[in-house]
Amino acid sequence: MKKELLKINNKEVAIQIVNSEVKSIRNKDITTVGARVYDKGLIGVAGQYGDKNIEALYKKAEDNLKLNIKYPCEITKDVQVDFKSKPINKNKSEIMKEIEELFKELNSPLNDLGFVASGDIKILNEDRSLTNDENLNFYMSKQSIEIGILLKEKGSPDIFDTAYVFEGEKFNKDEARNGIINMCKAHKNKVEFQVSKGEKIRCIIPQNEGTQRFFEKELNGEKIGRGASFFSNKFGKKLFDDKVTLYCSNLFEEHGVPFDMEGTLNKGEENAFITNGVLNNGYTDKKTAYKYNLKATGNAFGKFNEVPSLEADNLALKKGDKTLVELIDGKPAIFIIMASGGDFTSDGVFGAPVQCAYLFDGEKLIGKIPEISIRSNIYDMFGKDFVGVPKEGFKGFGIDMLAVMDMEIS
Amino acid sequence: MFNFPKDLYCDVRIERTFKTNITYENGILTQNKEGSYCGGFVRIYDGDKWYYSSVTDDKKIQDKIDELSSIAIKNKYIYKNPSVEKFQVNIYDELKFKENGTKNISNKDKVEYIKSFIPVFNGYPEVVSWNVNYIDRYVLKEFYSSKGTRIKYDNNVFGPVINFTLKDRKEFFNHRWQKQVNSLKENEGDKKEFSLAVEEGINFIKNGRLVEPGEYTVVLAPVAAGIFAHESFGHKSEADFMIGDEGMRAEWQIGKKVGSNILSIVDWGDIQGGGYTPFDDEGNRCTKTYLIKEGKLSGRLHDAETAAIFEDKATGNGRAINFEFEPIPRMTNTYIESGDKTFDELISDIKDGIYIKDIRRGSGMSTFTLAPTICYRIRNGKIAEPLKVAIATGTVFETLNLIDGLSNKVDIVSFLHSGCGKMEQFPLPVGFGGPYVRVKKLSIR
């Protein structure tokens, strides 16, 4: 019988902004622990909040072997690695002081521009370890700051009109202030945007805005193994543009994690699902890889108290070597801030409403365009209409995982 | 029970949760999880700022109260603060599911229950991949405040969630069937209902035609109508979005005409199911709040703070997804009230329209969007062939005025596997629904 322990500690200070003022401060320090016992091809799991009485937790996990959940795989052995993100550039009290200052400084310009700010700023610290009887000792520690500020134009019937987001380890008050003010200024500048039916426009889209959801669904190893994936029988073929390389990121700055919950190292780009447009393989955990004889990619995730299960929520496109200006190439382009509610059909057709987008020249947001819809399909948007991934993000927005593709709009 | 600090407002929310998740994936048991957890959320208010903290050991709650009290600034007038004045003093202790909840059903019985759905797949070779899940969630909530509120109530939801992929020639179709049930004993009717959902999916993949984009008269099934009400108007009624916007408050005067005369949208926590919230997470009792009544703006959803700002009554809508978060204005069960037609009457005079039977998701800003799964063409007053539709969309306020028919029965549902998201807080269990709703014109793509 082998034992394995997953321990996650999340510390968080969240500063909530309402009506452009600090309303509350929330502190969190929560530890969750998952104990796993492996015996005779079975797995038993038990979880708890807090890290006391671990032996009792192992006993529960052992009792859960009787639930008869098969686990016909070897646990990871003899690996010891520490991963640490860059530390946050300021201490907690400095950040909190600067946030108070930021919103005092924003109060007057936001009022003049006719906006109300709400949302939160979080200082996050996650420690995660996975250890077992077979000399596995994975540890990661990630620090980051998340800013999510919703900006509502006064008098607008919408719950919010635009948003400024940032995630990283460097908090820069001046950058945040300028980003928010420039976004509001662009929003006030309503621009005409006439397109003829079926015309395509260059779109700069955050990678988490739904355009990669189809890959997340259809590259699932279980579906591939069952022949139930849209991409079944298409592996090894060049289906997409040369500039498309898609992988589950192992980099903190791409919201990736270096190892999964089964202790498989996530090799990131080295294990890409699509390389230069060629569809290589789907994503798997150990069980799926074993069951269908697929390549193991380290995609076992899930909750701390569960049997690890197949997930891929940190898909990333490989950055190219061109800037946003070069990718836009002088063509009319829009920066999509919010395209919520769209989806792919089962046959890969994509449609989404764009609630907020700005005319964009690669360096600055020029003006707000009216609400539009975008439409494409998985082969076009990542094929002939795929323009590229910029080598760096757009500082005025805070998100650096972007993709540029031409889309039909209406 | 707790030693609350002097000259500060304080409340404590404790959640005792029991959850089960059993999953069979393509014939193999892959998950069987049962767990009980306790978590507490402590709030202190000094009239200027709120201070929050979460704990996972209920014995440490008093320590957290003391710790947060030491940071807050004492305010001897705190109970005169308008927000604090909106906190009701309620005493309530009723546990409906303590004895007969899913916590008391053996894991073996739950496994047998969910396994009984698996043979349904046998008759359908078009099903190429599936997972069958049993989910239950029991939550006992306790709430204590320095004003004297003492509340204890519970809720229990459970049922199957089944995902399956169908294949016909080179086409695939991903579908889901789920149901919140009241008992694990009699499920022959549910199995039949599930089998009909599989057959409907097969008909859809074999015979579904791509819709010609355009504007159509559309009939929304209750689930689609509920999501429309929730996304397009429910979120706009959450009063925190109006804070600091005097113009919007003036624009959104109660009594303003915003929809057709037959339209009434309600939010009410006292309905059994996922959105059941007899008291909110601030200890205030839920109310039946008309957001729209007979086409006119009728109410907003408040927590205590927004009720104070808007000088309204607290509506019992201060909710948090769990003990790690603070309550904010949220929906509970949001639904469109019924009309006077049967479904057949509703479609009888539609020459060429679309019936949206099921949807994956929806969203709503000025424009709302529904992403349908199963749709049918309505031709000459009858349901005809299945249609593939990527999105149905319209301008919210225009669409509210284009509702021209409602069926005579309301169906309220809640999703077991997901819920409502607002900023960082996702998923919150909510209910949504309505009758069948006819809209004169929606844009379909």
pLDDT given for residue B247 in this prediction: 74
Chain A nearest C-alpha distance from B31 (Å): 6
pLDDT-derived band at A110 (thresholds 50, 70, 90) equals very high
pLDDT at position A282 is 97
Q: Which of A226, A227, A224 is nearest to A280 (CA)?
A: A224
Q: Do A157 and B366 touch (CB under 8 A)?
A: yes
Q: What are the φ and ψ backbone dihedral angles of A84, each rounded to 5 degrees?
A: -130, 135
Q: How many helices (H) does chain A have, and how many strands (E)? A: 8, 23
Chain A residues lying within 8 Å of B167, measured CB to CB: 227-228
The pLDDT score that the predictor gives to residue B361 is: 84
- The pLDDT value recorded for residue A400 is 80
Q: Taking 80 as the threshold, does the pLDDT of residue A227 lie above it?
A: yes
pLDDT at A157: 81
Is the predicted pLDDT of residue B443 greater than 80, yes or no?
A: yes
Contact B243 A159 (CB under 8 A): no
Cβ within 8 Å, pair A120-B424? yes
- Rounded percentage of chain A residues whose pLDDT exceeds 90: 82
Interface test with A, best of B227, B367, B401 (most A CBs within 10 A): B367
Residues in contact with B300: Cβ distance below 8 Å, sequence separation at least 6, in sequence order: B237, B238, B239, B242, B252, B289, B291, B306, B310, B312, B315
Residues in A 87-126 with any Cβ partner in B closer than 8 A: 116, 118-120
Q: Which residues of B touch A18 (CB under 8 A)?
A: 240, 243-244
| Secondary structure class of B56 (helix, strand, coil) | coil
Interface of B with A in 64-93 (CB under 8 A): none
Structure tokens at A213: 């959801």
For residues A368 and A183, give the distance between their C-alpha atoms in angstroms, rounded to a whole number. 9
Lowest mean pLDDT among A9-13, A197-201, B165-169, B313-317: A197-201
Which residues have C-beta within 8 Å of that of residue B413, sequence separation ≥ 6? Answer: B180, B222, B223, B226, B273, B431, B432, B433
Q: What would the pLDDT profile of B216-230 be if each residue is shown by its tens digit?
A: 999 999 999 999 999
Sign (positive or negative) of CA dihedral B189, B191, B194, B199: negative
Residue range B320-365, pLDDT digits in tens: 999 999 999 999 999 999 999 999 999 999 999 999 999 988 888 7
Give residue-wise pLDDT tens across range B133-171.
Answer: 999 999 999 999 999 999 999 999 999 999 999 999 989
- Using pLDDT thresholds of 50, 70 and 90, give the confidence band for residue B99: confident
The more confident residue out of A91 and A279 is A279
Band of residue A257 on the pLDDT scale cut at 50, 70, 90: very high
Residue A167 has pLDDT above 90, yes or no: no
pLDDT in tens, B356-366: 999 988 888 78
**pLDDT higher than 80, residue B206:** yes
Percent of chain B with pLDDT over 70: 100
What is the chain A residue with the closest CA to B367?
Answer: A355
- Residue ranges of alpha helices (H) inside B103-252 are 107-115, 188-207, 222-228, 246-251
Under a CB-based contact definition with an 8 Å cutoff, are residues B307 and B300 in contact? no
In the A/B pair of chains, how many CB contacts fall below 8 A?
A: 188
The three-state secondary structure class of B78 is: helix
Contact list in B for residue A151 (CB cut-off 8 A) is none
Best probe of the A interface among B22, B121, B124, B241, by most A CBs < 10 A, is B241
* CA–CA separation, A247 and A272 (whole Å): 4
Which residues in chain A have their CB less than 8 angstroms from residue B361's CB? 341, 343
Residues of B in contact with A126 (CB under 8 A): none
Indicate whether B369 pLDDT > 80. Answer: yes
- Nearest-Cα distance to chain A for B345, in Å, is 31
CB-nearest to A68 from B29, B52, B365 is B29
- Contact status of A377 with chain B (Cβ, < 8 Å): no
The verdict on a CB contact (< 8 Å) between A45 and B33 is yes
Token look-up 């309301």 returns B410
Closest C-alpha among B203, B162, B128, B373 to residue A229: B128
Q: Residue B49: pLDDT above 80?
A: yes
pLDDT at B248 over 80: no
Task: Read off the pLDDT of residues A170-182 as tens digits, 9 standing for 90 and up.
Answer: 888 999 999 999 9
Cβ neighbours of residue B214 under 8 Å, at least 6 residues apart? B443, B444
Q: Would you say residue B85 has pLDDT above 80?
A: yes
Which H helix or E strand runs over A110? helix A92-113
Tens digit of pLDDT for each residue in B416-431?
988 999 989 999 999 9
Contact of A342 with chain B, judged by CB distance below 8 Å, is answered with yes
Q: Which of A69, A160, A346 sits opposite B32 (nearest CB)?
A: A69
Query: What average pLDDT does range A320-341 have in this prediction?
Result: 94
B-chain CB neighbours of A229 within 8 Å are: 172
Cβ–Cβ < 8 Å for A367, A189: yes
The residues, ordered by sequence, that sit 6+ positions from A91 with a Cβ below 8 Å of its Cβ are none
Q: Which two tokens stand for residue B257?
A: 């005409």
Band of pLDDT at residue B199, cut at 50, 70 and 90: very high
Q: Report pLDDT digits (tens) over A33-61.
A: 999 999 999 999 999 999 999 999 999 99
Q: Report, as an integer, the average pLDDT of A283-288.
A: 96
Give the closest of B31, B366, B388 to A309, CB-based.
B31
Q: Is the pLDDT of residue B68 over 90?
A: yes
Torsion of CA A66, A71, A76, A82, to 10 degrees: -70
Q: Please count the helices (runs of H) and the strands (runs of E) in chain B.
A: 9, 25
On the question of pLDDT at B391 being above 90, the answer is no
Mean pLDDT of chain B: 95
pTM for this entry = 0.94
Q: What is the mean pLDDT of the segment spanning A272-290?
A: 97
Measured between CB atoms, does A41 come within 8 Å of chain B? no
Q: What is the pLDDT of residues B268-325, one digit of tens each?
A: 999 999 999 999 999 999 999 999 999 999 999 999 999 999 999 999 999 999 999 9
A345-404 pLDDT per residue, tens: 888 989 888 989 999 999 999 999 998 889 999 999 999 999 999 999 887 777 789 999
CB–CB contact A306 B21 (8 Å): yes
Average pLDDT, integer, range A95-106: 92
**What is the rounded distance in angstroms from the CA atom of residue B125 to the CA atom of residue B41?**
50
For range A257-276, the mean pLDDT = 95
Q: Could you say which residues from 131 to 160 on chain A have a Cβ atom under 8 Å away from some Cβ of chain B? A: 148, 150, 152, 154-160
> For testing the chain B interface, which of A10, A12, A25 should be mutated: the one with the most B CBs within 10 Å?
A25
Interface residue of B366, B387, B444 to substitute, partner A, most A CBs within 10 Å: B366
